[in-house]
Amino acid sequence: MTIVPKGYLFAVAAAGFKKADRNDLGLILSSGPAVAAGVFTTNRFQAAPVLVCKGILAESPVARAILVNSGQANACTGEEGLVNCRATLEMIARAARVEPSEVLPASTGVIGAQLKMDLWGPAALKLAGSLGRATAMDVAKAMMTTDSFPKLAAKSVQLSGGEVRVLGMCKGAGMICPTMATMLGFVICDADVDPRAWREMLSFCADRSFNALTVDGDTSTNDTVIALANGASRVRAESKADLDALRQCLLSVCQELSYRIVQDAEGGTKVAHIHVRGAKSAQQAEAAARAVGNSPLVKTALFGCDPNWGRIIAALGRSGADFDPDQVVLTIGGVLVFEKGQPSPEDLDALLAPSMRHQDVRIELTIGQGRGAFTLLASDLSKRYVEINADYRT
């Protein structure tokens, strides 16, 4: 049974944005004002809901609700898209009996189309009727697009004043490569926490979870992660020990969700855990990991269970990271593959075959004696990925 934080209700509705009789609108409503935090796409073409949501958070540290729809991205829709987004917030706010400025929007779908505004009024009424009857899982399902399964994670943590709960949900399978987050993700918590601490906490956790994965090297126009903490547990997170414990709980939820995104990559069959250490800085370690994780040649080798380690070394070499090639050590699945500028003399194809058949493939690169390190989750690249994205609109 999913652990649900206190003081939240859920609602879903089948608006018909893309398919009839499929829930494609979801609402998460807090019983009272909740401290709100958000991280967003760094794509220069930011969708209307991203711009509106950022504006709301800039004006107030608290919110009451998260509104999400699938089937309509409302991205690259100009001023009309912004007007329509704000109009949907007014409709939903009336239905939920909150203020429009207390509702944080997020959308996912095809870029370029305006919202089907004629469908939003009836959908708002359906949403009101569903409030309190739906579950967190229902909302997670309503925001799916090419996802093959809903993604939920929940944890509880004992603070000095008692237990608090954290629940997260996300969607994402393609167009995944963050410089913030990389999909839609929502986290709710019942801790009482300072707004500034909560925002810093989400940023910290996003950098180590949603910012540390890639499927295809593409950053979306709509990427959004929103976190609410409503204090309904009546447990205050204030001391350093309590804040550290809450941050670790939040990080655990975010990292579990991140893993599930890569696990569910469009057409994906592998999750590569690419760990780079010994770099001169964390930024150089990240550059090295991303060069490997985003390489089509590395990704196709993973799909084919081909232990073609040369593709990893070649990707590292063009990453821009500063290192001495003779200091590089590569292991795959714990097997030493490359060091001192040359491959291991062992029969690597035979030794690596078992690791390459696993869903989780661990690639470790030591590139020097520095303190910089970074771990990236990356999917493989399959024939199915090409089929899904070649036929996405047609």
Buried b (16+ CB within 10 A) or exposed e, 256-265: bbbbbbbbbb
Would you name the residues annotated as active-site residues? 182
Phi, psi of 42 (to 5 degrees): -100, 5
Q: What share of the chain is helix, strand, coil (3-state, %, to 5)?
A: 35, 30, 35
Nearest residue to 13 (alpha-carbon basis) of 129, 106, 94, 111: 129
- Helix ranges (H only) for the chain are 48-59, 78-96, 120-130, 136-142, 195-207, 240-263, 282-293, 296-303, 309-317, 348-357, 383-390
Give the position of tokens 């729809």: 69
* Closest to 134 (Cα-Cα) out of 6, 32, 8, 9: 9
- Retrieve residue 84's tokens: 């329509």
| CB-CB contact of 194 with 37 (8 Å) | no
Return the DSSP state at 386: H
Q: Is residue 134 packed enough to be buried (19+ CB in 10 Å), middle (13-18) or exposed (0-12)? A: buried
CA distance 211 to 214: 8
Between CA 390 and CA 384 the distance in angstroms is: 10
* Residue 101 CA, distance from chain mean position: 24
362: alpha, beta or left, given left = phi > 0 and alpha = psi -120 to 50?
beta
**Contacts (Cβ under 8 Å, ≥6 apart) of 316:** 288, 291, 292, 328, 365, 367
CA dihedral 52, 37, 208, 190 (to 10 degrees): -140
